[in-house]
Amino acid sequence: MRHAQFGLAGMLALSFAASAMTEEEATQRIKSQACKGGQTVEKVLDGSIKSHSQRDLGWRTFPGNGFIDVERAVLINKGMEMRYRWRVEAGGSIGPENERAERLCEED
């Protein structure tokens, strides 16, 4: 029986494939992240959208090489969208990708 030989690159690819999360899992991680006032990111955004009578355009995902960007878009007037974007790395770390996402959970 012949055994396959894996170099370091092959082992890393297998490791990433085993630990990679789906777009839905990445979105859930962002939604459930702790934010201001003891609320989650999702609750803070939902409250802001409702209180400002804005139109929710929903959650979107943008997969990349070793990461998934997760975005929530809101229509604030006829042609202007407000976007909050985070990056979920393959290893599970999360970070804001724009200033709106960075400031969202800051206490006033």
Q: Give the three-class secondary structure for 22.
A: coil
pLDDT over 70 at 15, yes or no = no
C-alpha 21/C-alpha 92 separation (Å) is 8
pLDDT tens digit sequence for 49-83: 999 889 999 999 999 999 999 999 999 888 899 99
* Whether pTM exceeds 0.85: no
Q: Give the three-class secondary structure for 108.
A: coil
C-alpha 4/C-alpha 16 separation (Å) is 18
pLDDT (0 to 100) of residue 14: 36
C-alpha 87/C-alpha 93 separation (Å) is 8
Give the DSSP H/E element, type plus range, for residue 28: helix 23-31
C-alpha 40/C-alpha 4 separation (Å) is 46
